[in-house]
Amino acid sequence: MSSSIITVFIVDSCAIAQQRLTGALSAAPVIQVIGTANNGTEALEHIPQLQPDVVCTNLQMPHMDGFELIRQLLALCPLPILVVSPTVQPTETETIAQVLKAGAVDVFPQPLTGRWKAADQQALIDRIKVLAGVKVFTKSLRQHSTTHILRSSVTHRPSPRLCADAPQILAIGASTGGPQAIHQILSRLPADFPLPILCAQHISAGFLPGLISWQASMCPLHVKVAEAGEVPVPGTVYFAPDHYHLTLDDQGRCHYSAAPAVDRHCPSITVMFQAVAQHYGAGVLGVLLTGMGQDGAVGLQKIAQSGGSTIAQDETTSIVFGMPKVAIELGAAQTVLPVEQIASSILQQLSLPHSV
């Protein structure tokens, strides 16, 4: 078998849904469905031996549902899992939150009619191609990653008050694998975190409410979509909205920009990073996480050039080492860290208590 072939395993209790999904994927010569299962129990019997590039699973199945399959598969044989189900429509925010919490890399809504339209079929194929290059880790692998510091770290001096030259805002950008990476950071920050946090996450249109619901349930901070005209306040996480770039106006208020996509993305991480760098200058702490492509790299460089502090996620813990890699090559990343150490580094730079 050619190494260019992408192998997929499908898990769905509905035989017709299996057939239609297989047919949709077979339209791409580079994709081959190498196995199917009717539930999670059957899937776990075959997937470890077949080692597919991507696992596509429904959620509602007898004996072992998709949620339990995701949890057990990630512990036994970590592979990129795409949930393809009619229950992950954009309106199903709670279900999407549970899927992300379980550890699936991404979700794709199965057509409610059961039949794949050409546009949806192509979007699914494109998603599979992206996920085929994704790395997935167990928790134990993440815990043993090492730190790579590119500049001297700030000496930790616990203090309830920020220094005069401390960062004034935290800006985070992420793409593929980003929901889990952002969770790793936000869940380690205290409820009284003294900075506002702006986030730009590449995610399919309509799924942002589900992402926010999950993040809000798993971290002590207030998490919401940024509203045009509001001033970012400490202890609150503001996500860029669908279809708009998140920027700041002259008074530091959130602003929606309808400018064209940058690096094929809207919202763009680079646009947000450049906006905070322009307004806050050296008062920005920028973090660029896992993701395909290069969005955010030039923006992180702008933060560094403005005197701010910059962190990029390391290769070992990045689901896709694309955006951080470009930023590192540009010299934009002053510090490179495994994702589980980024929150401690942020607290250290603010001279706040943090765990080792």
Q: Where are the alpha helices (DSSP H) in 204-251?
A: 208-218
What residue has token string 């999950």?
A: 214
From the list 183, 202, 245, 279, the catalytic residue is 202
From the list 268, 295, 345, 351, the catalytic residue is 295
Q: Return the beta strands (E) in 61-211 as ranges.
A: 81-85, 106-109, 148-149, 169-174, 197-201
CA dist., res. 86 & res. 340, Å (int): 33
Amino acid at 137: F
What residue has token string 């035989």?
A: 15
Contacts 24+ apart (CB under 8 A), 330-333: 330/297, 330/298, 330/300, 330/301, 331/301, 331/304, 332/288, 332/297, 332/298, 332/300, 332/301, 332/303, 332/304, 333/150, 333/288, 333/300, 333/304
Residue 228: closest CA among 243, 210, 214, 215 = 243
Give the three-class secondary structure for 90: coil
Amino acid at 168: Q
Look up 175 and say whether it is catalytic.
yes
CA dist., res. 89 & res. 14, Å (int): 18
Look up 245 and say whether it is catalytic.
no
Helix (H) or strand (E) holding 166: none
Look up 144 and say whether it is catalytic.
no
What is the 8-class DSSP label of residue 223? E
Residue 33: closest CA among 16, 14, 56 = 56
70 φ, ψ to 5°?
-60, -50
Strands 245-248 and 254-257: antiparallel
> Which residues, in sequence order, are bridge partners of residue 56?
10, 82
From the list 13, 85, 175, 306, the catalytic residue is 175
Q: Which token pair is 151? A: 């500049």
Q: Which token pair is 227? A: 């509203």
Catalytic residue list:
175, 202, 295
